[in-house]
Chains A and B, each alone.
Chain A
Amino acid sequence: MSTGATVEVRAVKKVFGTDDGALHAFGPAELRIGAGEFVSLLGPSGCGKSTLMLMIAGLLEPTEGEIFINDEKITSPRTDIGIMFQDNTLVPWRDIYGNISLQLELRGIDPKANADRIHELLRTVRLQGFETRLPHELSGGMQQRAAFCQALVHDPGTVLLDEPLGKLDAMTRESIRSDLQALWLQKNPTVIFVTHSIEEAVQLSSRICVVTPRPGCIGREIDIDLPWPRDAQVKRSDAFISYVRDIQEIFHGYGVL
């Protein structure tokens, strides 16, 4: 059982230097995430959500401010995280099992000692029996489910998910949300989830950070107080619907919706 890490974003700002001047992409923003929280960064496209994500991963340096994971300042790429993007990082020459084991092999961890873990993760996302399939033999939704396992197999304290469901059709997204939720409830890492789907954010998150249009700032933080696991029944509840409506109102105020 992993324990989630705490993440702290202090006065972080990112400006990209371009040929025709500077592009203010994100911030300044403050954000405190407790261990084991599922926090969604919800905002319109181009608001800098992914930029913040890359800065938390240590893959991009903030122009100003500091980021801490477990009170440790980030100065280089973090290896205690799991990361996943809209385009998954499954490699086409390895089967599904091999792709998950790639995460371990790159870290110098013996994959054989973790075979049970890999099988357990695959069972959680309903992919047992597909271990020896190559990624192209799977549907887009199954690929993303396998990619979740790849991002989680090394038991990261923080999981960064950058629109992992972005390229899937609406029906597949619905069904995969519950897989993602099951994984989170099982391992309970700290999750930072980038999305522009309000419903998705309300269903999955313990807290939603609404990001304003560029330059993105954390506009509002909303605790989502709904029971777990959040199945179809919860989604029909009045509380769920009113959360969604409130957030729609916020974006309406920004002139986005």
Chain B
Amino acid sequence: MATASSDPRVRRPGRPAPSMPRGMFPWLAQSWMLFAFFAAFFVFWELSISLFDVPAYILNRPSEIVVNGWADIDRLIRYFYITALETVLGYVVAVIVAVPVGLAIAFSSILRRTVYPFFVAVEMTPKIAFAPLFISWLGFGLLPKVIIVFLVCFFPIVLNAILAFGSLSEELTRFCRSTGAGWFRVFVKVRLPAALPQCFVGFKYAALNATVGATIAEFIGSDQGLGFYIQIMTGNMRPDLAFAGIFLLPLLGLLMFGCVTLAERLLIPWHISVRR
């Protein structure tokens, strides 16, 4: 005989409700509104073009952008690769250089009084203002773009690294001193892991802004890359193809951001921003 308590449909008091099944489905259930919003946005765009009779040299339907972009996909992929290469190179070099520089500034009172204010001043200058100069010095190739991306990424990473390495709690500092451990051992076992969360703030911010540097550097002087493509197609009155290029840029940014977020999950799974 089935009693109320053995019936799985009856919730017994004091027990939590059965949790949602794990895996892909909860994610989908939580994201459907976002997808619906995107779909609605493109449908609205598609219909508005017909409704207001917008000429094709001003703006195209999303469907035309996809179809015409697909027809030119070989070139788009090649240019995507070029822009991605500039962005990733500039970003990686910025991470490799900026973290040790931030560490040095955090621990040297001389650097903190000289280089640090200088960096803050440079951070207030839009780095793309330097782009025409670098292109006039170094030509149309890869290097000036990598340098611009580097400059865009370098300062947020340095400023966050300074904050990260300079803010170990007083208690932990005293604890480490009381063990008599040398600087390097304290660095590896305590300072570095303690600094990683704040460093990742800089890494993420830089990853989101890296494509800006690459694109604008390409606007100013290049013969390939997505920035070059967008500028040429706009000049050719082909907004459909310009948009095809524009749609690929956030994809690059998202890929970068995704990689950094993945690294964050692997390196600091214990941190409050990562754990669930």
Residues of A in contact with B (beta carbons under 8 Å apart):
54, 57, 59, 77-79, 81, 83, 85, 87-89, 91-93, 102-103, 105-108, 134, 136
Given A87-B171, A91-B194, A102-B189, A78 and B178 contact (CB-CB distance below 8 Å): yes
Cβ–Cβ < 8 Å partners of A87 in chain B: 169, 171
Instruction: Give every chain A residue within 8 A of B268 (Cβ-Cβ).
Output: 93
B270, CB-defined interface residue at 8 Å: yes
Report if B276 contacts A (CB, 8 A).
no
Known: A83-B175, A93-B268. 15 other contacts (CB 8 A): A57-B178, A59-B177, A77-B177, A77-B180, A79-B178, A81-B178, A85-B171, A85-B174, A87-B169, A89-B175, A91-B194, A93-B271, A106-B181, A106-B186, A134-B270
Contact A108 B172 (CB under 8 A): no
- Could you say which of A85, A88, A106, A107 has the most chain B C-beta atoms within 10 Å of its C-beta? A106
Identity of the chain A residue whose Cβ is nearest the Cβ of B179 in the assembled complex: A106
Asked if B190 lies at the interface with its beta carbon under 8 angstroms from chain A, I say yes
Q: Point out the residues of chain B lying under 8 angstroms from A92, CB to CB.
A: 270-271
B270→A54 contact, CB < 8 A:
no
A59 near B174 with CB under 8 A, answer yes
CB distance from B174 to the nearest CB of A (A): 5
Q: Which of A57, A59, A89, A134 contacts B172 (CB 8 A)?
A: A89
Minimum CB–CB distance for A48 against chain B, Å: 17
Task: Report whether B179 and A79 are in contact in the complex, using a CB–CB cutoff of 8 Å.
Answer: yes
**In this assembly, does B185 line the interface, its C-beta being within 8 Å of a C-beta of chain A?**
yes
Q: Which residue in chain B gives the minimum CB-CB distance to A78? A: B178
Per-position binary interface string of chain B over residues 251-276, scored 1 when its CB falls under 8 Å from any chain A CB and 0 otherwise: 00000000000000000101110010
At the interface, yes or no: B193 with Cβ under 8 Å from chain A? yes
| Contact partners of A105 in chain B: CB under 8 A | 185, 189
List B164-178 residues whose CB lies under 8 Å from chain A: 169, 171-172, 174-178
Residues of B with C-beta under 8 A to A54:
174
Q: Which residues from chain B sit less than 8 Å from chain A, CB to CB?
A: 169, 171-172, 174-181, 185-186, 189-190, 193-194, 268, 270-272, 275
Name A's interface SS. loop
In the complex, the answer to whether A108 meets B174 with C-beta atoms within 8 Å is no
The 7 closest A-B pairs by CB, nearest first: A79-B180, A106-B179, A106-B181, A89-B175, A93-B270, A77-B177, A85-B171
Partner of A57, one of B171, B174, B185: B174
Contacts of B193 in A (CB 8 A): 91, 93
Q: Which residues of A contact B172 (CB under 8 A)?
A: 89, 91
CB distance B179 to A103 under 8 Å? yes
**Shortest CB distance A109–B (Å):** 10
Q: How many Å from the CB of B199 to the closest CB on chain A?
A: 14
In the assembled complex, the Cα of A92 lies from the Cα of B169 at a distance in Å of: 13
Query: Which of B171, B189, B270, B272 is close to A106, meaning CB atoms less than 8 Å apart?
Result: B189
Q: Output the least CB separation between A144 and chain B (Å).
A: 13
